[in-house]
Chain A
Amino acid sequence: MSRQYRFGDVQRRSRGKHKEYSINAITPKLERDANGNLIPYRTPRFKLNLVEVYNLLRPYVLVRMMEQVKAVVPLALYLLLFQVLILRQLEAHYLIITGGLFAVIVGLMFFMEGLKSGLMPFGTVIGRTLPRNSSLPVVLLITLLLGIGVTFAEPAIGALKAVGKNVSVEQAPYLYTLLNAWSDILVLVVGASVGLAAVLGTLRFLYGWSLKPMIYMALVPVLGLTLLAAIDPQLHEIIGLAWDCGAVTTGPVTVPLVLSLGIGIAAAAGKGESGLSGFGIVTLASLFPITGVLLLAFYISFTQSPAEIIEAARMASAAASNMEPAWYQSSPGEEIVLGIRAILPLVIFLYLVLRFVLHEPLKNPGEIIYGIVLAMIGMCIFNLGLTYGLSKLGGDVGNLVPAAFTPVPGVEISPIYIYSIGVGLALLFAWAMGFGATLAEPALNALGETTELLTNGVFKKKTLLLAVSFGVAFGIAAGVAKLIYAFPLVWLIVPGYLLAIVLTYFSSEEFVNIAWDSAGVTTGPITVPLVLAMGLGIGNAMSAIEGFGILCLASIGPIVSVMITGLWARYKAEAGAKRISTSASQKNEAQVLI
């Protein structure tokens, strides 16, 4: 007699390595009060042992750490290999720089996590409720103030201040005073410009304005002031800084916070559905600061003469050498103060808006305080890493690169190569660095996905990534060439942006949005300090007056390259459509004949 068993039952029996418990055993027993009503049950906290805590924390820390490691390590390795293989010099301070880069990784990890759990909740709540509770002028005022706040909190802005110390006051007095005595006002002006850009960008969402006229209108004063400054013998060295400020502002704090507010306002007005609603603010936020900084420079030039500035700088340095600098004026105290000063005003501002304008309670206060503290700690560590890691590495590499083709003091066997090969190597190095650093930028990936969605797959994510990377690469190479051959930045900027205007005129609205935004997206908190410091280092070694301007060329590159790619894609799509329609009409004729 045969018996039948289900195979599954056999399998379950033979495995049998698990235990089963009834969940009833841990169900809480509810108690009743005197009247027989149930007393609300309070869930107790879990008690975890050390192993369990470790198991919780390990993936949490590891994932976030790897994100930053992926961004920093390849770039640092590339710079190091270039030094060893091509320049045959080993980094002199490699221990300090390794420590500094580690600080950058840890600092950015803390900062990004703090941003996510401490600052972004404010952004979403305010973005969602503010437009519904307040009138448009109030909303716009808060947007403007938010623009200032986020600019101070932007990690890359610290890099600007850090490089200001190396500018020679005799050669470029106005540049020196802007980056030293006026540095806080400089950031304030940049912030106000970002705020203004946020306001205009928000109005654009609300009324559905096209981005094209706004770009033309923003570019007229920018290019006009640039030309005016280029004529002035005292002010032309300011141009590079002004244009670089535009690229510095659009980083990991500004973009999400300002965008969440803008999108919230558009959504409250019932206009949040357009796929393009997120775009435009970044573009304007990278154009307006240029105007702002140039205007500030003009203002200083009217009130102070170069001789006064040099005199003041000499007095300040004499006073500084006389007395011991206070703890908050020297590293590492300075970085810590800067870190706290970057985050705290923004947080207080956001809290005040939430409390007194919106009357909203703070959800999960513990988590938000944790995030804010984390962001501050991260900012301090990042600032330290900036000083000892990124800025030093970029500066050292920048100092060494010219040794490939020209004698540089302090490098024993320079020039290492004959002139033409050396220049070629230096440009190739800059090109490859721009290409690699851009491909690795996480923000660009997100933009690529949006683009593919917006264009219904005509413009592939990979195409955008490549177009932007090529643009940045050529931009950085052009910037290095500018430093090597010491020709004025205006010669590159003005034709570049004129070309961009022409392309903007011919491109469709989608591509104008994508192209102009891609420029702001590419310059993150790692590339900005590295490229800035590298430019200044090259400038130093070539004894140029200033080494700014590489970043802004890295912005114009992708604008042009993305729009050209867009026009090409449209041309191909139209050609394809024409072919299909002609073949279809031929078919129709054939049917008629039959």
Chain B
Amino acid sequence: MNDNITYLTDVAMITCVVKRGMSDIILQAARDVGAITGAVSFYARGYGARERLGLLGITVEAEKEIISLLVSLEQKDTVFEALIRAANLDKPGNGYIYCTPLEKLATFIPQSVINELEGNA
């Protein structure tokens, strides 16, 4: 039987595309509003805004960092908003953020956490 596998549901993924080197600020902001899971980040190059801004485009760094973190549906809006504010995403040239619902998530879950989950159920 597969009863030793635990699925977690009600998960959303928040992905931030920001200037390289911003991950510390993003992660701290996420932790401050209770995003308990970790995050992964990867390096990338961005295209689009640089070309459409003409000479002003040089102010937009092409070097990007993508940070994606998994949050619960309940906290998704709180985290989303916190990250927009922390990374100044409402200012030009700072990047963007999006949020997608996920069907399920599985990983190692400590026994103490499973006990807590079963107690709630």
Q: Is A366 an interface residue (CB 8 A)?
A: yes
Which A280-300 residues have a C-beta within 8 angstroms of B? Answer: none
Q: Of residues 24 to 69 in B, which have CB atoms within 8 Å of A's CB atoms?
A: 49, 51-60
Asked if A45 is an interface residue, CB under 8 A from chain B, the answer is yes
A370/B58 in contact, CB under 8 A:
yes
Closest to B54 in A: A45
- Is A56 a contact of B52 with CB atoms below 8 Å? no
Q: Which residues of A contact B56 (CB under 8 A)?
A: 48, 53, 56-57
- Beta-carbon contacts of A1-31 to B below 8 Å, as 1s and 0s? 0000011100110010010000000000000
User: Which residues of A (27-64) have their CB < 8 Å from a CB of B?
Assistant: 43-46, 48, 52-53, 55-57, 59-60
Known contacts: A15-B81, A56-B60. The answer to whether A8 contacts B74 by CB under 8 A is: yes
User: In this assembly, does B104 line the interface, its C-beta being within 8 Å of a C-beta of chain A?
Assistant: no
A391 at the interface (CB under 8 A from B): no
Q: Is B8 an interface residue (CB 8 A)?
A: no
Docked complex Cα distance between A55 and B56 (Å): 11
Taking the nearest CB of chain A, how far is it from the CB of B41, in angstroms? Answer: 18
* Contact A45/B91 with A11-B78, A56-B60 known, Cβ cut-off 8 Å: no
Closest A residue to B21 using CB positions: A63
Cα(A370)–Cα(B55), bound, Å: 8
Give chain A's interface secondary structure class.
Answer: helix
Shortest distance between the CB of B10 and any CB in chain A (Å): 9
* Contact call A15/B77, Cβ cutoff below 8 A: yes
Complex alpha-carbon distance, A387 and B104, angstroms: 66
The answer, yes or no, to whether A367 is at the interface (CB within 8 Å) is: yes
> Bound state CA distance, A53 and B73, in angstroms?
36
When the two chains form the complex, which single residue of A6, A18, A45, A59 contacts B52, counting CB atoms closer than 8 Å?
A45
Interface residue ranges of B66-88 to A (CB < 8 Å): 73-78, 81
- With A8-B77, A15-B77, A117-B58 known to touch, is A55 a contact of B52 (CB < 8 Å)? no
- A56 B92 Cβ-Cβ under 8 A: yes
- Which residue from A11, A45, A57 sits with its C-beta under 8 Å from B77? A11
Within the complex, the shortest CB–CB distance from A404 to chain B, in Å, comes to 44
From residue 156 to 184 of chain A, which have CB atoms closer than 8 A to chain B? none
Say yes or no: A8 contacts B73, CB within 8 Å: yes
Query: What A residues does B91 contact at CB under 8 A?
Result: 55
| Bound CA span A48–B57, Å | 12
When the two chains form their complex, are residues B77 and A59 in contact, meaning their CB atoms are under 8 A apart? Answer: no
Which of the listed residues A12, A55, A367, A370 has the most CB atoms from chain B within 10 Å of its own CB? Answer: A55
Contacts of A12 in B (CB 8 A): 77
Q: How far is the CA of A46 from the CA of B76 in the complex (A)?
A: 31
**Across the two chains, which residue of chain B brings its CB closest to A44?**
B52
Task: List residues of chain B with CB within 8 A of the CB of A45.
Answer: 52-54
Residues on A with beta carbons closer than 8 Å to the beta carbon of B53: 45-46, 48, 56
Q: Is the CB of A11 within 8 A of B54?
A: no
Contacts of B75 in A (CB 8 A): 8
Q: Known interface pairs A15-B81, A55-B92, A56-B92. Does A8 touch B59 (Cβ–Cβ under 8 Å)? A: no
- In angstroms, Cα B53 to Cα A60, docked, is 14
Q: By the criterion CB–CB under 8 Å, are A43 and B52 in contact?
A: yes
* Distance between Cα atoms of A52 and B92 in the complex (Å): 7
Contacts of B77 in A (CB 8 A): 8, 11-12, 15
Residues A43 and B51 in contact, CB atoms below 8 Å apart: yes
Tell me the bound Cα distance from A499 to B59 in angstroms: 49
Pair A366/B74 contact, Cβ less than 8 Å: no
- What residues on A are CB-neighbors of B60 within 8 Å? 56
30 A-B pairs (CB sep. < 8 Å): A7-B74, A8-B73, A8-B74, A8-B75, A8-B76, A11-B74, A11-B78, A15-B77, A43-B51, A43-B52, A45-B53, A46-B53, A48-B53, A48-B92, A52-B92, A55-B91, A55-B92, A55-B93, A56-B53, A56-B59, A56-B92, A56-B93, A57-B56, A57-B59, A59-B93, A60-B59, A60-B93, A117-B58, A367-B55, A370-B58
The 5 A-B pairs with the shortest beta carbon distances in the complex, nearest first, are A60-B59, A8-B74, A56-B59, A56-B93, A55-B91
Known pairs A18-B81, A44-B52 / 12 extra A-B pairs, C-beta < 8 Å: A11-B78, A12-B77, A15-B77, A15-B81, A48-B92, A53-B56, A56-B53, A56-B56, A56-B59, A59-B59, A60-B59, A367-B55
